[in-house]
A and B are shown apart, each in its own frame.
Chain A
Amino acid sequence: MDIIVADNLVRQFYTKEKPEGSFQLLKALFSFKKQSKNVVDHVSFTVRKGDIVGYIGPNGAGKSTTIKMLAGVLVPTSGTVHVNGIEPHMNRKRHAGQIGVVFGQRTQLWWDLPLIESFKLLGKIYDLPKERFKHNLDMFTDILDMSSFLSTPVRQLSLGQRMRGDIAAALLHEPEILFLDEPTIGLDIMAKEKIQSFLQEINKEKEITIILTTHNMDDIEKLCHRVIFIDKGQILFDGSTEIMTAEFGGFRYLVVDAPNWEEAAWNGPPVERREDSQLFFRIEDDKQVASMIKQLSDLLDIHNLTVQEPKIEDVIKQLYQRIGH
């Protein structure tokens, strides 16, 4: 079942045109010429219930603008969105009950009050019956491991703790869809993994649909079934992570362990990446492998040698490069 249907979504923003020539400042003061720009430019996609979709792209690609339209806080310039059959901005209050929103860089928690106060208030705002509120709160406190800091003022929480609080806050009213904007930004590995496994769990158990924007490839690798890649307001790729790897991957790395490699004296094939003593050489075609090993063993003292599949990160880098970033 398609829970989100976006059809030809466009969102225009206006920027003031900058006058040219002499007296620029003065002209700018009295100029009302506007330039319009499609931040989201005829975007169409559908999302099935229970999917985890990674919505990725460079900064300013139109990710947040799309999310804002799906959340019903921004009206599309043209095109339509339906979430569970509702047009979000036409029926904002009803829509609010079926979605939860988390922004990694901002918080909806009350900065100066104990964390629990924000939860209590949200329970009231969403008119949750007492038992259901208590049940949900206990459950999230348990799986997000929040009991030790429930009564700590939010300003004293670590970023990881605050993030868990924000995610619980977005889920207390049992929404069907969760929008996450960079949920793991700035977190350490432990905190990141805690949040990733939590998201997997609620997705599996409650069939919550998750739309996730991120610059953290780890999130996509671990969580997403599907990736939508957007740039300059347009969708450039939409499909499963496997298809993406096949289409934009299509290469492998020959990884050579050679401790006495010197960059200045090197005249062999180009080294794409270096991790400690490991050198990464790119192979577009499997037929190259044998000849490259031969070439390298002539030039280097090789301790170890492997062939590796590219990580999603590499695939995305490939995508970025192809669109000229």
Chain B
Amino acid sequence: MGKYAAYTITTLKNTQVYKFDLLLRIMNSFILVIAFREIWKAIYANGQGLALSTGVTSQGMQTYAMLSVILFAIMPPSISYEISDKVRDGSIVFDMQKPWDFEWMHFSKAAGVFVFNVVYAVIPQLIAVLLFFPIDYPAGMQAAAFAVSVLLAFLLSFLINFIVGMLAILFTETWGIDMFKSVIIDICSGAMIPLWFFPDAVSRVLLWLPFQGIFNIPLSLFIGKITGAAVWEQLAFQAVWCLLLLLLSRMILAWIERKLVISGG
């Protein structure tokens, strides 16, 4: 275990090198927080009976939108570009010939970035949001469920990223696949538009897919749209998808390690 912890810590140190970059990212994200809040405020001001038909108040929706942007900041960054670059120039060899598990290694790295983002991006932003805007936040069990749900969302997002990254090893050209993944996650997870605004048939399908576990579930928990027994159901939904994707990623990894297609003569 020591080697993975060391990898997480080294990643954490590495992420702290570019301070100005970090500052810009926080500002960037904060502008988005305000923009998304204003958009939903405007929609609610003009939409007749939106609060009634969706069961979410204007303030609840604003909270959802702001938190969605903040949550976006802690989701693991895409690894497919990095992997496909390494495959192309051959330096993937260094990663492949170390005595570690390739998936654990990538998870340790994602964990390092996660810790960094929570400390340097999420906490300052949460404080700013709490200071400047009125938001409803959960307490007690609901807050605990939210925290667990965020961790599961992170795990889901990591696994999807890792699987797409593995495909990068197979196809070397990944821009298309990665773009596709980003669009699917943006739309199907409820990150931009909550799932309850989709047509019934569409949202019924989306509710069965893993993507809603990344944004819809934790955000709905936060604004209290999911309560009571449904909380456990939704956490279980996330956990089951994590398990399924973990199995899938292990199968793909095992297959790739058997084949090991690395370019370059």
Enumerate chain A interface residues (CB-CB to B < 8 A).
Answer: 13, 39, 60-65, 68, 71-75, 89, 92-97, 99, 101, 103, 105-108, 110, 112-113, 117, 120-121, 124-127, 153
Task: List the 5 closest pairs (A to B, CB-CB), nearest first.
Answer: A124-B6, A108-B94, A73-B96, A96-B99, A106-B91
| B residues less than 8 Å from A99 (CB atoms) | 97
| B residues less than 8 Å from A74 (CB atoms) | 260, 262
| Nearest B residue (CB) for A97 | B99
Whether a CB of chain A sits under 8 angstroms from the CB of B257 is yes
- A64–B99 Cα gap in the complex (Å)? 21
Interchain CB contact (< 8 A) of A92 among B6, B257, B262: B257
- Let me know if B3 and A75 touch, CB within 8 A: no
Which residues, 79 to 118 on B, are CB-close (under 8 Å) to A? Answer: 89-94, 96-100
Whether a CB of chain A sits under 8 angstroms from the CB of B182 is no
| A residues less than 8 Å from B14 (CB atoms) | 110, 112-113
Closest Cβ–Cβ distance, residue A88 to chain B (whole Å):
9
A-B contact pairs, 10 of them (CB 8 A): A61-B265, A68-B93, A73-B97, A92-B99, A96-B99, A103-B91, A112-B18, A113-B13, A125-B98, A126-B99
- A89–B18 Cα gap in the complex (Å)? 38
| B residues less than 8 Å from A112 (CB atoms) | 14, 17-18
- A271–B257 Cα gap in the complex (Å)? 54
| B residues less than 8 Å from A117 (CB atoms) | 10, 13
- A92–B96 Cα gap in the complex (Å)? 8
| B residues less than 8 Å from A92 (CB atoms) | 96-97, 99, 257
- A99–B98 Cα gap in the complex (Å)? 10
Known: A39-B265, A97-B99, A113-B13. A124 touches B3 (CB 8 A): yes
| Nearest B residue (CB) for A109 | B94
- A183–B262 Cα gap in the complex (Å)? 21
Interchain CB contact (< 8 A) of A127 among B2, B17, B257, B265: B2
Known: A101-B97, A112-B17, A113-B10. A64 touches B3 (CB 8 A): no
- Let me know if B265 and A103 touch, CB within 8 A: no
| Nearest B residue (CB) for A40 | B265
- A120–B9 Cα gap in the complex (Å)? 11
- Let me know if B17 and A121 touch, CB within 8 A: no
| A residues less than 8 Å from B2 (CB atoms) | 124, 127
Interchain CB contact (< 8 A) of B260 among A39, A62, A75, A96: A75
- A64–B14 Cα gap in the complex (Å)? 30
Band of interface residues on B: 20 to 34
- Let me know if A121 and B90 touch, CB within 8 A: no
Closest Cβ–Cβ distance, residue A59 to chain B (whole Å):
8
Known: A62-B265, A68-B262. A125 touches B99 (CB 8 A): yes
- Let me know if B97 and A96 touch, CB within 8 A: yes
- A64–B94 Cα gap in the complex (Å)? 14
| B residues less than 8 Å from A94 (CB atoms) | 99
- A117–B13 Cα gap in the complex (Å)? 9
Knowing that A106-B89, A127-B2, A127-B3 touch, tell me 9 more A-B residue pairs with CB under 8 angstroms.
Answer: A13-B265, A74-B262, A75-B259, A93-B99, A95-B97, A101-B94, A108-B91, A124-B7, A125-B100
Most buried by B among A94, A108, A125: A125
Whether a CB of chain A sits under 8 angstroms from the CB of B140 is no
- A216–B122 Cα gap in the complex (Å)? 52
Closest Cβ–Cβ distance, residue A254 to chain B (whole Å):
39
- Let me know if B99 and A72 touch, CB within 8 A: no
- A94–B100 Cα gap in the complex (Å)? 10
Whether a CB of chain A sits under 8 angstroms from the CB of B228 is no
| Nearest A residue (CB) for B257 | A92
| A residues less than 8 Å from B90 (CB atoms) | 64, 103, 106
- A53–B100 Cα gap in the complex (Å)? 29
What 1/0 flags go to B245-265 for Cβ under 8 Å of A?
A: 000000000000111101011
| A residues less than 8 Å from B7 (CB atoms) | 121, 124-125
- Let me know if B265 and A60 touch, CB within 8 A: yes
| B residues less than 8 Å from A113 (CB atoms) | 10, 13-14, 17
